[in-house]
Structure 1
Amino acid sequence: MANVVKSPASPLTTAEIAALALSLAHLGSGPQADAARHGLRHAFEHLELGDDVVATTLATLTAPLSAPVADRARTIASAITSRLVIRLHYRDATGRVSVRDVDPVTCMVHREHWYLVGMCRMRGAIRAFRFDRIIATEPTFVPARPHRPEGFLPFQGKRAA
C-alpha cells in the first residue's frame, strides 16, 4: 500500500479528535482497529507530550475499550449522531445506581477515563458520565435538545449557555 502525502492542512479540531477517538474506541480489536489507532497516534506526533496528563489521555484515546463498554459506546455514539436522548443506568462514585435521561453532546477523554458529556434531564445540568460507571444504555426516540459542545465545561460545575 502506498503512502499518501498531503500538504499541511489545519490541525484537527477537538470535536474531530473526539469523534475519531470514539469511533476507534468501540471498534474493538483486530487488524483494522489496530491500524486506525496507529493512525490516530500518528496524527498526534506533532504535539509535544511533555505533560503527563496529555500523555495519559492520548494512551486512553488510542486503547480499545472492553467489549461491554464498547457496546455501550456504540449506543452513545449513535445517540449523539442521531441527536436523540439516551437513557443511562449509572453507578456513581458512591455505588448508588440511578436511571437518567441525557441529551448527549459529546464524548471526551481525561487521563484514563472516557466520559459522555451531556445535559442530564434529572439534574437539569451539564454532567460528565464516566463510561466505566455506565451499567447499561438504552436508545430512545426522544429528540435531544440542541446544545453546542463549546458551552459544556465539564468538571467545572458551570451550566450550559
Structure 2
Amino acid sequence: MANVTRHSLTAAEIAALALSLAHLGAGPQSVTARRGLRHAFDHLDLDDDVIATTLATLTTPLPPDVARRARLMANAVTARLVIRLQYLDAAGHLTIRDVEPVTCLVHREFWYLVGWCRLRRGIRAFRFDRIVAVEPTDLPARPHLPERYLPFQRRTAKRRKAA
C-alpha cells in the first residue's frame, strides 16, 4: 500500500470549494460533494461557535434563485469583470451598484460577495440574500488581492499598527 500524505485545506481553498458547491443546488452530485466537504471539516479543530455556524452554512445548499446569482458573481470574480447589483440594504433601501468583485465568503449564517463598490468608492460586503439581481457587464475590473479585502478577520496588534 502506498504512503499517503494528507494536507490541510487553507481557508481560501475551503471557501472556493464551498462556493463551487453552492452553484450545484440540491442535486445528487451536490449531496455527495457536501458530504465530502463535511468529511474534510471532521479533521479540523472546531471548538468555536462562529466557526461551527459558518461551516454549517458552507455545507447547506443555497436556494435556486440565490445559487443562480452566486454563479454569476463567481464567474465575474474569475473573469475580473464588473457586475451591476440591485442591492437591498438592511433598512430596505434599494440601490443599483457597479461592483468590482473580489471574492465570496461565508460568515456565520450568511454568504457575502466582497468587492470594490464604485458607488461608495470602497470595499463592501454584500449579503447574498439581499442581492435582488445581478447583471454581468463587459467592463474590466481592476485586480484586487482577496487577502487585503476580507472582512471579519481578526486583526493582530502587529497588523493594527501597520494599518
Please give the TM-score of this superposition, normalised by the length of structure 1: 0.90
Larger displacement relative to structure 2 (13-22 or 29-38): 13-22
Q: In structure 2, what is the equivalent of residue 53 of structure 1?
A: 50
Q: In structure 2, what is the equivalent of residue 101 of structure 1?
A: 98
Q: 1:96 to 1:15 in 2, by over 3 A?
A: same
Give distance in 2, aligned partners of 1:104 and 1:82: 10
Task: Report 1:103-122 matches (<5 A).
Answer: 103-122=100-119
Q: In structure 1, what is the equivalent of residue 149 of structure 2?
A: 152
Q: In structure 1, what is the equivalent of residue 68 of structure 2?
A: 71
RMSD over aligned Cα atoms? 1.8
| 2:25 matches 1:28 | yes
Larger displacement relative to structure 2 (10-19 or 74-83): 10-19
Give distance in 1, aligned partners of 2:5 and 2:89: 44
Displaced runs of 4+ in structure 1, greater than 4 A? none
Q: In structure 2, what is the equivalent of residue 15 of structure 1?
A: 12
Larger displacement relative to structure 2 (8-17 or 61-70): 8-17
The letter of the residue matching 2:126 is F
Q: Deviations over 1:101-132 (max 9, x none)?
A: 11101111000000000111111111000000
Q: 1:58 to 1:86 in 2, by over 3 A?
A: same
Give distance in 1, aligned partners of 2:147 and 2:25: 29
The answer for unaligned runs of 5 or more in structure 1 is none
Larger displacement relative to structure 2 (7-16 or 75-84): 7-16
Query: Which of the two has greater helix per residue?
Result: 2
Give distance in 2, aligned partners of 1:153 and 1:33: 27
Given that residues 21 and 34 in structure 2 are in contact (C-alpha distance below 8 angstroms), is that contact kept between their aligned partners in structure 1? yes
Q: In percent, how many aligned pairs have the same letter?
A: 69
Give distance in 1, aligned partners of 2:22 and 2:72: 12
Q: 1:98 to 1:9 in 2, by over 3 A?
A: same
CA deviation after TM superposition for structure 1 residue 12, in Å:
1.6
The letter of the residue matching 2:56 is A
Give distance in 2, aligned partners of 1:113 and 1:48: 22
Task: Report 1:125-144 matches (<5 A).
Answer: 125-144=122-141
The answer for unaligned runs of 5 or more in structure 2 is 154-162
